[in-house]
Structure 1
């Protein structure tokens, strides 16, 4: 049986065709893999800025409000219900002026009972002092009486001594006279020592009683002063703010019902983003615009406690000239963080939200290509360029929301 013979030339032909097809397929796959993702957009839809070589001013800006230099809370020392209101919010008051009267019958009754108890103790102490004085007086009377008896015994002794020496007085009578004089003498000495010790002891007790009475009187004074706490008065002169007590409403002890602002001067208070916490320090200077004039200010206090991503700073006006300010006025503060330096500047824009400053589209004719960059410091207007861009290059600074996966932009008029 005959077999079919395949020609060698035909076999080579098929191999060459297959190789060419595979080569074309590889080329198209390579082109598809390496081709940059491109998007066509209109120039009117984007913002193009030029890289500038200029002085970079490292500053920040924030809003601050004018607040009084000194303020004091109006606190309720003794709780009670509001009985009378003598002033209104916003009024100017003087130190000691009556603001509100509270009423608390239970507390007032307790005060009366305490006052009665203290007065009773003072009376008892005074009575004890009087008893000691009377005791001293009684001892003095006894001493006078004993002294009189001693003097009589001494006079009789002197008389009987003469009579006995002249042998007029009997010996038994003379012995009796001598014994009586000795007795009165010893009695007098003992009583004198007793009276002296008694007086010393009484003096110590009287000093202690006087000290106790002084303490009681001070307690009584404090108690009576506390009774006056139901009438709330202004602790200093100034303007009332946040003062809104309600008649009949009961306020507990240590509750604040308002503030008195001392209007002798003002400062600025601001809440600043926590990003700047390590860059702001006492003594840094800045400026604010007031009545079409630039006024210098200075950081005087930094409160590092962060709340809701912000911390508080206070600033004082450097100028000695008195400014016609009002509480609550808002100022835009420009705070200098460092000296000016010459560098390449990139205008701020929406691109940063998608790139975090790591890359940007650089414009070259009718195309814009993606390029990695490195940014440094920033202020509200510019970024400092550290690397990736040169002076005079043009970049797209508007939002990249629709271009995040694109590498080349074709720009059309």
Structure 2
């Protein structure tokens, strides 16, 4: 009896065919996925790869600071003009009052001379008025002396005539004459005394005004003479001249800086700081620098917040004794401490930051680098502090991304 032979569902031939189709589909899918991702092939010698580290993050800023005197006084002229004479040179040590140079300004000198002459004339007129008042007072005193002498004579005659008239020795007419003379001189003395009192009050007021006016004019005269004298520029303090380069015939405006005098009482440091740190640098923060193998401590004394060319300026002073080797203009590498050290993930600084702003990086694994979003915090002169997105020992491209930042995958060829 014949048996029904069931046909096998999957023959070897069919299995091989299905396997081939699956392989083709996978290859097609992989090719399609590659077409969706942009791939850039980079030479390993042309990129820098850094490993994410974990350790003490030093919150410091490395600065190039310049040594300057602790105190500098600007030398300027109150009047503009041209340099007529030069008495000292740049770098010279001077004492207060030492002549430095002379400024010539014929127009200003002529105006000062004219004003001086006018004021002297006014002073002379006021002094003449004072003399006239004093002379008038002397005349009135002399008149009073004459009247009082005449009054004494008339009084004496009046008393005698009164006795004689009572005894009927003289006539009434003679007595009346004596009485009238006495009354006349008495009234005249009273009037003159009243006039002298009024004149005395007026004279005191006028003399006070004259003295005040002469005093003010003397001050103006002294100011004019001082301005003339100030055309010879003198050292306002003792110290060393710097930034001083006058040339005969060179013109300067009023109050324009002619130079500086460095008061030799110590030194400080001036440094420019990247504007990135403008909200983190405060007065009183500590710093340190090394001079001839010795470490010196510093304090931030002043923060000047105006930003110029991407930097703001700070001044630092030595916290304790400074080095004897300090000289103006010496450049010192200084570490400014912003906060205490802390344990953090750290990524080496590199030019990638200019392309990404620290928002993402290329993370390397098995010869390929792919984009990954990250978050960075503080930075110092070596590292960025990694807040999110990376793990310890992961590798990151830290060189410039300018050539391939639009690609999704970077294949690194060795």
For this structure pair, what is the TM-score category when the shorter chain's length is used for normalisation? 0.7 to 0.9
Deviations 1:5-32 (A, max 9, x none): xxxxxxxxxxxxxxxxx99998766433
Q: 1:170 to 1:293 in 2, by over 3 A?
A: same
Offset at 1:402? Answer: 4.3
Q: 1:189 to 1:48 in 2, by over 3 A?
A: closer
SS in 1 for 2:183: helix
Distance in structure 2 (CA, Å) of the matches to 1:113 and 1:396: 78
Deviations 1:273-314 (A, max 9, x none): 211111111111111121112211111111111222221111
Matching residue of 2:111: 110
Deviations 1:58-110 (A, max 9, x none): 11112111111111222122233322111111111111001112233333333
Q: 1:225 to 1:161 in 2, by over 3 A?
A: same
Offset at 1:326? Answer: 0.7
Matching residue of 2:235: 234
Give the TM-score normalised by the residue count of structure 2.
0.87
Distance in structure 2 (CA, Å) of the matches to 1:37 and 1:252: 64
Distance in structure 2 (CA, Å) of the matches to 1:72 and 1:318: 23
After TM superposition, list the pairs within 5 Å mapping 1:3-18 onto structure 2: none
Length, aligned pairs only: 393
Q: Larger deviation: 362-371 or 104-113?
A: 362-371
Give the TM-score normalised by the residue count of structure 1.
0.87
Distance in structure 1 (CA, Å) of the matches to 2:387 and 2:151: 117
Matching residue of 1:31: 30
Distance in structure 1 (CA, Å) of the matches to 2:254 and 2:359: 58
Offset at 1:379? Answer: 1.4
Question: Which 4+ residue blocks in structure 1 deviate beyond 6 angstroms?
Answer: 22-28
Q: 1:135 to 1:288 in 2, by over 3 A?
A: same
- Residue 182, structure 1, aligned to residue 213, structure 2: no
Matching residue of 1:216: 217
Q: 1:350 to 1:103 in 2, by over 3 A?
A: closer
The runs of 5 or more residues in structure 1 that have no matched partner are 1-21
Q: 1:46 to 1:123 in 2, by over 3 A?
A: closer
Distance in structure 2 (CA, Å) of the matches to 1:156 and 1:55: 122
- Residue 277, structure 1, aligned to residue 258, structure 2: no
Q: Larger deviation: 345-354 or 209-218?
A: 345-354
Q: 1:398 to 1:198 in 2, by over 3 A?
A: closer
RMSD across aligned C-alpha pairs, in angstroms?
2.6
Deviations 1:19-63 (A, max 9, x none): xxx999987664333235555555454434332221111111121
Offset at 1:180? Answer: 2.2
Matching residue of 1:54: 55
The runs of 5 or more residues in structure 2 that have no matched partner are 1-20
Q: 1:368 to 1:210 in 2, by over 3 A?
A: closer
Deviations 1:206-228 (A, max 9, x none): 12111111112222111111110
Matching residue of 2:333: 332
8 A Cα contact 2:291 2:323, kept in partner: no
After TM superposition, list the pairs within 5 Å mapping 1:115-134 onto structure 2: 115-134=116-135
Matching residue of 2:3: none
Q: Larger deviation: 385-394 or 220-229?
A: 385-394
Matching residue of 1:391: 392
Deviations 1:308-346 (A, max 9, x none): 222111111112345431111111221111111112222
Q: Larger deviation: 273-282 or 254-263?
A: 254-263
Distance in structure 1 (CA, Å) of the matches to 2:412 and 2:221: 90
Distance in structure 2 (CA, Å) of the matches to 1:356 and 1:132: 88
